[in-house]
Structure 1
Amino acid sequence: MKLRSLVSLAVALVAVVILCAGGLGGFLGGNAAAGCIPAAASPAASPSPSTSLLGPPPGWPAIGDWDSDQVGNAAAIVSTGARLGLPARGWVIAVATAMQESTLRNLAGGDRDSVGLFQQRPSQGWGSPAQLQDPVYASEKFFGKLVTISGWQTMPLTDAAQAVQISAFPDAYAKWEAPATQLVTAIADTAGLPTDGLAGCGATGPWTQPVLAPVGSGFRTGDRPGHDGVDLSAPRGTVIRAASAGTVRTARCNAVYADTGAEWGCDRDGHPDLTRGCGWYVDIDHSGGLLTRYCHMDQPPMVTVGQPVAAGQPIGVVGSTGHSSGPHLHYEVHHNGDASPNGAIDPVPFMAAQNAPLGNPPT
């Protein structure tokens, strides 16, 4: 029986709990409705591995930089999360964790007694070595721990993954958020699984935080009077989301040498003294003459000029291009459709007034 037929039958037999609004169209650039903060789900009792929706490799093609074996393992994670009723945000967290821990390889052994996709340790009560080399069992154990973490749905991905894994490198998971989001979306699209909320989870209304991270340098402070926005201290690779629905006005690189104005480029990090400009950045026009700006992206934006975006839709990832001393998101809000410094307003009180205050969520 062909893969899609198997998947269709399995999906028909298994009720996947839909916990968010939004959808795949929003992630891929459509004008889907704003997303939501998903409710926590409780995994069911551990079933046998044969109940996985998609099954282990072989049978999956390579996707992007991931070969068929890696994609098959990611598919086992995704299908397990779907069967247990977790929203797509949980699938992304799990796949990103496995990317960091094992590069999506079902390893027979690792550091000390670590085993499998998540490098879980039998000595710490995760299960036997044989159990932990079953991708479905290992995924169930990961998800079972994840849902016990208060506020995991709205945490930065690296914090949620770290709360489960207790790694010696707690920030290492952040760089995998964008690749995991893209791979999970491709798998779910192929399998016909709903990715409801993947584009916009975290958006509780018309506005949402572009990243969940502490506020660093503020708006037009005494030592930085020309700082027309705020810096959000998110790790490199953190997904940046559109703060509200709108249309992309600008998506480009403008990093130049400070002394000559010659092109510095965005294929490398910028410098706080040698470089000027936002690096890779995006401007989005919103209703009411509002505009938001997102600076210092690590890679070319995920969106293009003229593209409609939904609140919470991924538009790029955090980096340090342009006039920057380290990875963070520089975020600006402008009114009257004025993208110049004359139109800039302080994002902190503005976002608080939209019920989307900047900074980490309360614990």
Structure 2
Amino acid sequence: MRRIVVAASLAVLAGPSVLVIVLALFVGSMVGAACSTATPVTVGPVPEQLRATAADGSPARLDRTQLGHAATIMAVGSRITGVGPEGLLVALMAGLTESGLRMYANTTAYPTSANFPHDGDGADNDSLGIFQMRPAAGWGSVTDLMDPTYQARAFFGGPDGPNGGSPRGLLDISSWRDLPAGAAAQAVEVSAYPERYARYEPVAAAILAALTMPVAAASSEPAPVAGSARVFPLPDDTWSPTSRYGMRRNPVTQVWALHAGADLAAPAGTPVLATADGRVVAAGPGGGLGNRITLTHGTGAGPAASDTVASVYGHLLDGGIHVTVGDLVTAGQHIGDVGSTGNSSGPHLHFELRPGGPDRPAIDSQPWLDGAAHLSAGELITAAAPTSSCPANAANSGVNP
């Protein structure tokens, strides 16, 4: 089996409000054909820019749009059993090679592709999107392939992939882990230029490192905060997932941008629960989030800002905020009610986790929501990845902002 050590040299340029996390990521050997022993990848904040160097020495500079697409690919792949960091690396290499991690329409072959969010107009036969997939080759319809999340699911394939193994996604190729990463990308893309993919391996490694949220090993996790259990923010059997973290067109503003939270549709008035013990630092109107509550939670690790995580609850009902700034709340406390205020297309809760505090960027909170039933407040940060090393597949299927 291949052991990858990602030690890419990179410079990350971030705006003043963007938390940049850079780590050396080691991908260990794998157990069995489907399950990685490596720590599951959790997608962190998206920086404004990233600079890296390709294998041939040429410079690469990626902007926030390209990195947002990378975050979507990583968020999708991290929830599919058997992908792991090795599979994410292959997918990023393919996306960089095929489109430069841009979402391309193709108005020559499919004029209607211009009706979907896109970053430019491509002209490679009838290829579409980040991975330049072709409807004629069976990858999906124009509507399917103009959705970055669908493209990522199709690239990874496997038992839950949208194409049932034809065309083959990465997980449909039994020997992909034994191949060089560039050859694995070629096995999915079946390009006339198979040598192209290896050039982008260092760039893909730099992206993977820059967008991966570190998760502390169990032996070094901060001590739990006494009496603080993790609680799902809505009661059981009251909600359904709609829109996940990742790039998308906001259905209200029609702006193509990063959706920084997890949306959980629920009837108006459904109780919203504090996910852990904490302090209320915001309670009221919050721009596009409408009525929102923000809590801060200490991890028990120390007094620094990095030892704090904020949870955000957006689009609450008018009159549906039941706490005030400064209040101390306990895990499971009824703090608000589901509504549809702000930029919202229907009643739902928009939930975010922001390591470092309320002014920091949000991370992909879905793995944390999918995690174990009871975690300490300290584990709001350290357990931001699923407790299983083989997280289940889950796709972005909704429209609520």
TM-score, normalised relative to structure 1: 0.39
TM-score, reference length from structure 2? 0.36
Richer in strand (by share): 2
